[in-house]
Amino acid sequence: MAKLSGFGRLFAALLALQLLPWIVAVDISDIFTVQRGKVAGSCDGQMNLLNNWLAESTLSVEQALDAIDRYNSNLNVRKAMNTIFHIQNQGKMPASGKRREGFKTVKNELEWVYTFFQGGPYKKEHFWLFCDCTFLESHLPSQPAYDYLGNKIHDDDNEIVTIEKVKEYKKALAREPNARPWWSGAHSALKGYYFTEKGGDYCTESQLAATAHIEELNRPLPAGEAEKVEIASVILCPESFNTTLRQANYRDANNLITDGTNLADGVPRSATLLHEAFHAIRGDDLFSGNDESCEQPLFGLGPNPYL
């Protein structure tokens, strides 16, 4: 989920952004399976803009990594790391210990997202991109359950199995009291369920974006995969493309940053894509809570599940 708060301060605080020309070496469809065509949730009308957002996001992470490399020599970077990631500003970074571990974790997370934006060793089949939530269809727990091919599930007696009777789906419904099954397969090649209160109606409340992870039921393991990996689906709401609370691009955002300016005001619309990329790779491990912030020091998040 993307909101105008803690995350917006991250790159505004870490970056003294230099507006350099860039060349888009990677297309948005190189890293995401993008919803295309005259269907619900299609991104057809936003492809050029999404490629611009990808370029801005790539540059943002690159500059953030450059800033982190100046941690020992730049007081502002140390203050930002303390404010955003709770890595205490106690002078230069030691060679070992908790501060070093937290510092390394932050850098790893940024590098993973940067590699993703560069078209690195990720499979785009694991990352889907939609430009509205309207492709999601509300189902009742008592309705027939579908598998990853969009086929109804039958038991050993060839009786149709309902959603609430499927072990994995039953657990998902139990995790959130108000959750409903939202089927993605009616308007998309991605056949799976999102179990949440808001699905196909999520974007109607002026939300910017959301990322959900699903596991396609009964999907066999592709060659080279040791275990089943959840599919990350990024949903960019129409508001993310039109919001007046963010600037159209980094140049406009950067022009607003002066002494005394709230850093959250200097955030471009492309930051929504950047933010959701962290959620796509890490779920809520990095940014969470109502203000979408890093709520505690980042220690021991574990390996990247997609690498």
pLDDT at 20: 47
Question: Cβ distance 186 to 133 under 8 Å?
Answer: no
Rg (CA), the chain: 20
pLDDT at 71: 93
What backbone torsions phi and psi does residue 19 show, to the nearest 5 degrees? -85, 85
CA distance 216 to 64: 35
- Which residue type occupies 252? D
- Which residue type occupies 202? Y
pLDDT at 57: 94
Instruction: Please state the domain extents for the chain.
Output: 6-18+26-282
Question: Cβ distance 7 to 154 under 8 Å?
Answer: no
Which residues, listed in sequence order, are joined to residue 268 by a DSSP beta bridge? 247
pLDDT at 18: 45
pLDDT at 276: 94
pLDDT at 206: 82
pLDDT at 246: 82
3-state secondary structure of 211: strand
> What is the CA angle 82-86-89, rounded to 5?
40
Over its length of 307 residues, how does the chain's per-residue pLDDT go in tens digits?
444 334 444 455 444 444 444 455 789 999 999 999 999 999 999 999 999 999 999 998 998 999 999 999 999 899 888 888 888 888 899 999 888 988 988 898 899 999 999 988 889 999 999 999 999 999 999 999 999 899 999 999 999 999 999 988 999 899 888 999 999 999 999 999 999 999 999 998 789 999 988 866 766 666 665 566 788 999 999 999 998 888 888 777 777 766 666 666 678 899 999 999 999 988 765 555 454 555 554 545 556 665 5
